Structure 1
């Protein structure tokens, strides 16, 4: 956590624990009392548990190993089961870029842009790779990259069909070609912000829906 989040953590004496996968949300007396990690360790909550996992994983978390497989409070169960039926968006396509920022005035850039490739008033604003988010964190914190460099992240906002990737094998030649092809939409959005971005790019990494899936439940 950098910036305001980091400061808030320090002031409250809190910390972030990385690589600590949650196996279950522990429920006692109808309340979430903490979590059990996949390592078997338990973390007790003082006030409650805030869950940022996909809603479709909530039912399994509430009835997982930490609760011994026992049914949880019926109100919680009813809520989690309704949540599991929520309609899913499409997946995400990511582009992470490190650029040479020589000659760029970062004060003229914004930290975040939304690029509508077919327009906001198109027939379907949420159409495939229509809405592209472009984030420029170096505008907020220049230390995120070496002097004279900047970092940038663009992604399709929940509008990349997972089905296009479902049968691909990560690392294969067809998979790598598809990444290049699908990322063109992201590059075009980035070029709306920095027209010569491709010429400035020193490193560019494309994250596919399979990459995205690896970091989610």
Structure 2
């Protein structure tokens, strides 16, 4: 194996270790020593890549952003209509399985740590604003007849609902099973006039 490939493999191992410690053991146990134990390597190797806890958290947040961005871009590309794209992108942000449940836990852990850290909170805000812009764009495409103000308000309401449910479900998955979460999303979309059954109504009203 080449040195470059070896470094890449080490990086992936450390990334998985950072993620697993934060998602499975919680924020309080995210330390260089815990990551080294999860990765099966020395603390020196971890510190070479992540010199402190802040670096570990920044990496976990960047990894979360990268994973979810790739997933939502694929869902957008595969969707058959603007409203289908909006629903699919919102749905993947809920805690429907072990992967998305861990993502919600990582998100909460990062936010808890970011409250008193300027660099962490700046990263958190940057990624959250990018997410809001994406949902606003998808909402505008799903309801082209809406004003910009209405799009912004409804997009924010959709984000609040889906992320709020994800937080509750991550902490108590038995009380918020995937089918219930999906029904909540569909009820919310219908309440805002964004259900798939109404696709194209705005265009018909304007024609």
* TM-score, normalised relative to structure 1: 0.29
Higher helix fraction: Structure 1 or Structure 2?
2
* TM-score, normalised relative to structure 2: 0.30
Pick the structure with greater CA Rg.
Answer: 1
Higher strand fraction: Structure 1 or Structure 2?
1
